Amino acid sequence: MQKRKLGRHGPEVPALGLGCMGMSISYGVPDDAESIATMHRAIELGCNLLVTSDAYGSGVNEALVGRAIAGRRDQVLIATKFGNVGLGGGVPEGLSGGHPDYVKLACERSLRHLGIDCIDLYGLHRVDPQVPIEDTVGAMQRLVEQGKARHLVLSEAGAQTIRRAHAVHPITAVETEYSLWSREVERDILPACRELGIGFMAYAPLGRGFLTATIKSVDALINQDRRRDHPRFSAENINKNNGLLNHLEDIAGAHQATPAQVALAWVLGRGDDIVPIPGTKRRSYLEQNLAAIDLQLTGAEAARLDRAFAPDVAAGTRYPEKQLKGLGL
């Protein structure tokens, strides 16, 4: 497995990590046995960066990861997050997701769920507009000093917030959505990370499955699938977005690869400081995703994708309107 340095002062991590959210919530029906087998297979293949959050089922996903890594702690890097109170996590009355008092409570709870005594990469899942970022990161810094966290991460933070947080304690990585059809971070977030020597973890690098070219109709999603609430997957928008897939499918055919592998190869090619973390709960898809590391796009192919998937080309926003308000703060 190829390795990448996560930021100027962060750990070496696999070039692709494994997002674990969909194993428990949002996409399809959970299958804990297959999900655990997928995590075990990922570890075997050197894809040992497992990414979760206390918000994924209010600790359910963390507990699942904890079961998978039991007896394997020294073989894995665990990334989890707190503070996404709109999705889950449970904040006591009088506190909010970024409140310093809550930071300690959330960390202790995650440690219990995961069955570990130190989190390798501990992140603020969403910036709390009620609390200065300096206060939240200050509390996270104390966790590092206490040996409960090794490195700090911000998720979906704005460029100025990243700079302010980094001035309090070094931020190892920023975790934000990045894919062919979600390129907003190229404007100011990626440049800020590179200026400060912060690594970048790209979640949803397959566009929540759309870039696999297997979801061409909303009817492909079960009724409980959360993507039905995402504007890009509405019946009207998905029909418009399907035209983008021709470019992926053409290039995939030339390489005898899958569209998903081409989409991942594109993200991997955007810089050695970027670590995509595609999610899956199936071993077969995990192995297909990891094969993207060896796929080399030609300059012409990368340029074709850049043009076809120009920023803001996708029909529909990447989150429902209510959730958009919590991004880039």
Task: Say which residue the tokens 């996404």 belong to.
Answer: 84
- 296-323 in b/e form (b: 16+ CB < 10 A) is ebeeebbebbeebbeeeebbbebbeeeb
* Beta carbons within 10 angstroms of residue 164's beta carbon: 15
- Determine the Cα–Cα distance for residues 302 and 235; give it in Å rounded to an integer: 29
| Sequential DSSP letters for 197-229 | T-EEEEESTTGGGGGGT---SGGGS-TT-GGGG
Alpha-carbon torsion angle 51, 56, 59, 65, nearest 10:
-30
Task: Say which residue the tokens 């990368």 belong to.
Answer: 302
Q: How open is the CA angle 60-198-132, to the nearest 5 degrees?
A: 70
| Those residues with Cβ within 8 angstroms of residue 299's Cβ, 6 or more apart along the chain or in another chain | none
Secondary structure E strands in 129-186? 149-155, 171-177
Between β-strands 49-51 and 3-5, what pairing exists: parallel, antiparallel or unpaired?
A: unpaired
Q: At what angle do helices 259-268 and 245-255 cross, to 10 degrees?
A: 90
Between β-strands 18-19 and 12-14, what pairing exists: parallel, antiparallel or unpaired?
A: unpaired
Q: Are 82 and 89 in contact (CB under 8 A)?
A: yes
- In the structure encoding, which two tokens stand for residue 13, read together? 């991590």
Sort 173 into a burial class: Cβ within 10 Å, 0-12 / 13-18 / 19+. buried
Catalytic residue positions, numbered? 56
